[in-house]
Amino acid sequence: MKCRAVIIGSDHTNTLSLIRDMGRNKIPFVVILHSEDRHLCVNSRYVRKNYVFVEQTKEAIVGALRKIRNKSECKPVILCATDIAQYTVDFYLNELEKGFYCFQFNHQEKKICTMMDKYEQYLFACSHGIKMAKTWKIKLKEPVSFPDDIEYPVIIKPAISAFGLKKDIESAKDEGSLRKIVHKLVQKGYMEAVIQQFINKEFEVTTLGCIFSKNIDNFTFVLKKIHMFPASGGSTSYAKNMMTTPKEISQVIQVLQQEGYQGLYDIEFFYIDGHYMLNEINFRNSAVNYALKPHGINASYQWYLYCNGKDISGFEKNALKEKYNFTIYMQLCLLQKKEIGFFTFIKEIFRASSYSIFAWDDLRPLFKMMMNVAFIRERFLS
């Protein structure tokens, strides 16, 4: 089988952007989708029939990878679009590295798995002098006990995002409300959670890019979030790129490179009191990867070439000028919930240079999404 890349993800813009990156560069690939939704990725003109659906488990994902490895004529590059995908690849790294190129920390199996734990990220940040909100870890076993030094208000979330849902992230203003949230998490089957000090930020930024070996310059692309969904704090809905990289952000990238990480990344920061504070690190493709295209930057394609020993020194790695990016369905959600006005919505459509789903060379995913009644009901009418 002629397969030079394997994309693993759900039916989401993270996965769709990787499909387009590989398809536009005529790289043969296979997509492993760990969801049954079919309104985005399978409708891309670049996919055709080269996809397979699996359950959202480590065992199902690695099983699909083994089948691809056994049929491949060469060593494909794995591109992960979701946390569970990256967790699986790193969990079986010693086995998978023999047949694939993978994101990794100095070829250490389960190192990324460990770093996906939000409390481990906090310890990692503290050990390198990186500012991060105070974080505590608790076992979700009744009766749950809390650390004595918790400072309210706080955010509570599943410890590892690969096995958690964003909708289960909540805030608590005191111990009473915290206990109610913890009780719900216990009922949902979570075993551990992290509690983080609530940060009254001025704004958030997303940093995406790629880290190569220590003797090759990596690149960092910073987006300032203008709108988020949910509006109280969440995924990037509308943003603009920054022309310079703040020193606190550069420090985190440099530390990851020094520690031996190689691969794509998506890192969140808060801006507060004149400095940037680390929020979380994701070792996968970014949901706003599409924002790179107007600048002539293609992170996943550069990573693909790097894995195959090709020269990447001549590729663009810097923002050309300030541009805006627009996540269509999130902006529609904000409009429907009256978080933004109609004229703001229209103005920002025309102001943007890149769009999460819309692309002139690949229109069908957008049309299929808008025609999907269940998707519209879930996103806009619930």
What CA–CA distances, in Å, run from 169 to 116, 152, 178, 193, 194? 16, 16, 12, 10, 10
* In a domain? residue 125: no
- Provide the CATH number for the domain around residue 160: 3.30.1490.20
pLDDT in tens, 335-367: 888 899 999 999 999 999 999 899 999 999 988
Residue 121 falls within a domain, yes or no? no
The tally of domains found in the chain comes to 3
pLDDT at residue 371, as a whole number: 75
Q: Is the pTM of this model over 0.85?
A: yes
Q: Are residues 220 and 339 in the same domain?
A: yes
What's the pLDDT score for residue 235?
Answer: 83
Domain shared by 348 and 232, yes or no: yes
Query: CATH number, domain at 242?
Result: 3.30.470.20
How much is the pLDDT for 110? 97
Question: Quick one: 252 and 334 in the same domain?
Answer: yes
Query: Do 16 and 49 belong to one domain?
Result: yes
Residue 245 lies in a domain: yes
pLDDT at 37: 78
State the residue range of the domain holding 326. 203-381
Rounded Cα–Cα distance for residues 234 and 40 (Å):
21
Residues 227 and 175 in one domain: no
Domain identity same for 105 and 154:
no
Question: Does one domain contain both 84 and 29?
Answer: yes
**Which residue ranges in the chain fall short of pLDDT 70?**
1-2, 215, 231-233, 373-382
Q: Is residue 114 part of a domain?
A: no
- Kindly state whether residue 63 falls inside one of the protein's structural domains: yes
Q: State whether 218 and 359 are in the same domain.
A: yes
With beta carbons less than 8 A apart as the criterion, state whether 94 and 291 touch. Answer: no
Q: Looking at residue 375, what is its pLDDT? A: 59
Indicate if 193 and 290 belong to the same structural domain.
no
Quick one: pLDDT at residue 376?
Answer: 56
**Within this chain, do residues 233 and 340 fall inside the same structural domain, yes or no?**
yes
> 164, 197, 230 — which closes off a domain?
197
Whether 115 is covered by a domain: the verdict is no
CATH of the domain at 72: 3.40.50
Residues 369 and 236 in one domain: yes
> What pLDDT does 59 receive?
97
pLDDT at 374: 59
Does residue 279 lie in a domain region? yes
